[in-house]
Amino acid sequence: MRRLDAGQRSAEELRKITGNEFITATTLDLADLASVSAFTRAWNGPLHILVNNAGVMALPELQRSALGCEMQFASNFLGHFLLVVELREALASAGGARVVSVSSTGHLFSPVVFDDLHYRFRPYDPWTAYGQSKTADVLLSVEVTARWADDGIVSNALNPGAISTGLQKHTGGLRTPEEFQKSVEQGASTSVLLAASPLVEGIGGRYFENNNEADVVTERSENLGRAGGVANYAIDGENARRLWREAISLTAAE
């Protein structure tokens, strides 16, 4: 995490609540691939559960990472991609690992636009940029499962729902109708299901919301409270393979 002091305070609180003295926090900036690689080099031992939860949303102006990538794509997807790839050995050694990627109904705003990932031709739009980054997170789970299931590694993606957090700092706060909002605990429930429940043992390459596998949809609802489902482009195997190749090229991962 970028704010190590805040992470350490949270870790201390969790140690007190749970009695687990092994809960720690360390530095990780997903927008900085050097930071990601430093984190993975320091990792020791098997890794049973990896939850890709960090993200930024609707940056009002076009920003680029050190590699020149659009920042939402860089932070929400590329950093997680490199993290997963460089931790593959640790995941495989767990003898049954799960990778969970937090996506969003925002993925319904845009597929991954392979011919212009970084807005070098398209006018920048905060929401389509966010949307393609969240579609990429779903495709990551599809391809991790396709490539690594034989190693005991499966991955699923999810929509946590509308939760009031710092994620909305660029949008003036959460705008979803109150009756469709969730608490932090409710929002975390699908992540916990995919990370730990025996109900999804061995299941991968899918997208969940409200603790159930989502329906495939062919268009996005304009109703902010009822928008849901997973777009067919977000679970398409060919899209997942193409994105993997693009990400390998961008990150120089092996």
Residue 90 CA to residue 106 CA, distance in Å, equals 31
Residue 137 CA to residue 127 CA, distance in Å, equals 15
- The reported pLDDT for the residue numbered 177 is 61
SS3 208: strand
Based on the residue annotation, tell me whether 130 is a catalytic residue of this protein: yes
Residue 170 has pLDDT above 70, yes or no: no
Report which of residues 108 and 3 the model is more confident about. 108
- The reported pLDDT for the residue numbered 183 is 78
* Mean pLDDT calculated for residue range 115-130: 97
Supply the DSSP string of 137-180, one letter for each residue.
HHHHHHHHHHHHGGGTEEEEEEE--EE-SGGGGGTTS--S-GGG
Least confident of 3-12, 119-128, 236-245: 3-12
Q: What is the pLDDT of residues 58-102, one digit of tens each?
A: 899 999 999 999 999 999 999 999 999 999 999 999 999 999 999
Q: What is the pLDDT of residues 33-60, one digit of tens each?
A: 999 999 999 999 999 999 999 788 889 9
- The reported pLDDT for the residue numbered 199 is 97
- Please tell me which residue in 124, 130, 207, 233 is annotated as part of the active site: 130
Residues 6+ apart with CB under 8 A from 5: none
SS3 100: strand
* Mean pLDDT calculated for residue range 200-214: 97
- The reported pLDDT for the residue numbered 176 is 61
